[in-house]
């Protein structure tokens, strides 16, 4: 719009026109994915499982890409019982060929791909001085390399088929240095998840020209299947003292009791809500890195902690 056109436009009329031309929220959030196809890596449990649920609720057909067949087929059965159209493909995202196979499977099954959520990840705890190469490679290859190449595979078919799709990468609060309170011991995981956040911006800048929306969600701690296994290797290596420190600080960081609290944000980035977002990293961590006030230390407002008692003069 040129400067002359702007000068002639009535701002009040523009406001009314803007409101008149918007999609209703029911279309944006409730059924915006009708006829769309999504691929979710690591979608058989945890955060990925809740993301699959929300995508299906909005009308999408979803392919779950994960390593364990039993868990994957059980997830498919769960969602089919709810009337959703869900399939599973065996995928280890550490293998680039398997990333491409997951995308090919999706196209063969549903003839299109509109949404990718690159959620598959692994983690554990290990002191920096002790990290072996195989542990470093496992986390970097799953969390960073896997996300990079499943994103590439999805983007290629979106570009080829002229689909203005959505790609959502999953980072972590670790990309800002957050880790197990009192311990840390996740330097390699921080490296992987910081890489995911950084690559989101670079990839988004390249794919914007094709109308493909690329953004990222960085969750904090969640009560999911991984919580019950995370730290097991460290416990075996460092013993009782490690567990004592870990347990002593177990309540220091906020924990989402249901991963759906994060899945809702992931879902939003798969909808028209993210149409004007490019390369953003949305932190959803319950304030994990904030200094938060736990008690109402104010004596000027009724209902807070009273101030010091005044002494008689």
Q: Is 210 a catalytic residue?
A: no
Residue 88, beta-bridge partner list:
64
Per the residue annotation, which of 125, 171, 172, 224 is the catalytic one? 172
Q: Is 84 a catalytic residue?
A: no
**Site of tokens 């159209």:** 85
* CA separation for the pair 82, 49 (Å, rounded): 14
Sheet strand arrangement including 166-170: 86-90, 61-66, 37-41, 115-118, 166-170, 213-219, 281-284
Contacts for 204 with CB less than 8 Å, ≥ 6 apart: 213, 214, 215, 278, 279
Per the residue annotation, which of 100, 166, 193, 213 is the catalytic one? 193
Residue among 227, 262, 259, 225 at smallest CA distance from 246: 227
Q: Is 188 a catalytic residue?
A: yes
Per the residue annotation, which of 110, 148, 188, 242 is the catalytic one? 188
Q: Helix/strand/coil (H, E, C) string of 113-143?
A: CCEEEECCCCCCCCCHHHCCHHHHHHHHHHH
**Site of tokens 């060929």:** 97
- Active-site positions? 172, 188, 193
């Amino acid at each position: 719009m040129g400067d002359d056109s702007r000068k002639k436009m009535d701002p009040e009329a523009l406001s009314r026109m803007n409101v008149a031309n918007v999609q209703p929220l029911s279309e944006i959030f409730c059924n915006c994915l009708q006829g769309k196809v999504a691929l979710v890596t690591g979608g058989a449990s945890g955060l990925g499982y809740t993301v699959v649920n929300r995508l299906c609720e909005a009308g999408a057909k979803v392919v779950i890409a994960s390593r364990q067949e039993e868990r994957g087929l059980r997830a498919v059965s769960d969602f089919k019982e709810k009337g959703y159209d869900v399939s599973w493909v065996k995928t280890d995202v550490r293998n680039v060929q398997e990333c491409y196979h997951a995308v090919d499977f999706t196209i063969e099954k549903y003839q299109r791909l509109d949404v990718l959520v690159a959620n598959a990840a692994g983690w554990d705890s290990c002191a920096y001085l002790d990290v072996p190469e195989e542990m470093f490679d496992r986390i970097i290859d799953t969390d960073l390399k896997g996300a990079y190449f499943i994103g590439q595979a999805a983007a290629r078919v979106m570009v080829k088929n002229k689909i203005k799709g959505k790609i959502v990468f999953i980072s972590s609060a670790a990309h800002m240095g957050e880790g197990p309170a009192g311990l840390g011991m996740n330097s390699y995981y921080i490296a992987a998840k910081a890489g995911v956040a950084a690559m989101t911006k670079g990839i988004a800048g390249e794919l914007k020209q094709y109308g493909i929306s690329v953004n990222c969600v960085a969750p904090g701690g969640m009560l999911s299947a991984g919580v019950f296994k995370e730290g097991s290797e460290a416990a075996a290596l460092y013993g009782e003292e490690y567990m004592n420190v870990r347990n002593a600080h177990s309540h220091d960081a906020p924990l989402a009791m249901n991963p759906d609290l994060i899945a809702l944000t992931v879902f939003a980035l798969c909808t028209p809500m993210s149409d004007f977002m490019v390369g953003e990293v949305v932190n959803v961590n319950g304030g994990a890195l904030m200094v938060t006030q736990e008690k109402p230390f104010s004596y000027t407002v009724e209902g807070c902690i009273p101030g010091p008692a005044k002494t008689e003069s």
